[in-house]
Each structure stands twice: as structure tokens, then as C-alpha cells.
Amino acid sequence: QVQVVESGGGLVQPGGSLRLSCAASGFTLGDYAIGWFRQAPGKQREGISCVSASDSSTYYTDSVKGRFTISRDNAKNTVYLQMNSLKPEDTAVYSCAANLMRRRCPVGETPKQYEYAYWGQGTQVTVSS
């Protein structure tokens, strides 16, 4: 049975850090490009980062570039999102998913939801003082 579970969210003060995990079972994360998405209250879900299967190349949307780092540990079948210098506008539910259409993140392109499957439930990140 295919399952993806995100964890690591929580409440953090502005400027703080969190590391999110995306753990998979029932399939091999290393076979796919993996994307992180987030959905803030009242907004549509947006793709924020991607890590390729083929060469571990990465993509970040401008709003998180320089603050977030995506990585993968294929031995643990897990992808991580290290989030530093968090801002209140980073508050959202964060989800990960597997790109069934590509092994490599498109260069310079925001992850597109329709290319992704095996969504988890998400993990809440709240940045507030």
C-alpha cells in the first residue's frame, strides 16, 4: 500500500527553523522527483521546492530560496525540507508528493500539482510570536 507521511511541523517564532520529513512506504521515493507544496489559509496550494531523482538537482520558488533546503535520503526512503529564517507568511500546511511524470525537476519551473501523486496528509507549520 502506497503511503506518504509528512512530519516535523509545529509552532515556531519568526526567525526560527524546522525540518520537515516526507517518509514513503509502498514505493521507492528515489525513483521519482519529489515536490514540497504548501497551502496557506484561504489560498491555493503552491509548489515551493523539488528534488530530482536522477541527479538530486533542486528547485526553489523565489519566496523560499536561500532559506529552505530540500534533500533526500534514499536509504531511509525519506525527503526532507529544512526551513530556516521562518516568516509569518510561511504559515501553511506543508505536503509532499511524487512526480509520476518526471525523474528530474523541470529547470526553473514551479512544481505543478497535476504531475504529482501519492499525497500525504500534510503537516501544519505556524510561524508566530
Backbone angles phi, psi at 71, to 5 degrees: -150, 165
User: pLDDT, tens digit, for every residue of 52-72?
Assistant: 997 779 999 999 999 999 999
Q: What is the mean pLDDT of the chain?
A: 95
CA-to-CA dists, residue 99 to 25, 28, 115, 129, angstroms: 15, 12, 5, 35
CA max distance for the chain: 40
Single-letter code of the amino acid located at 14 = P
Is the pLDDT higher at 77 or at 101?
A: 77
User: pLDDT, tens digit, for every residue of 19-49?
Assistant: 999 999 999 988 999 999 999 999 999 999 9
As a whole number of angstroms, the distance between CA 119 and CA 36 comes to 10
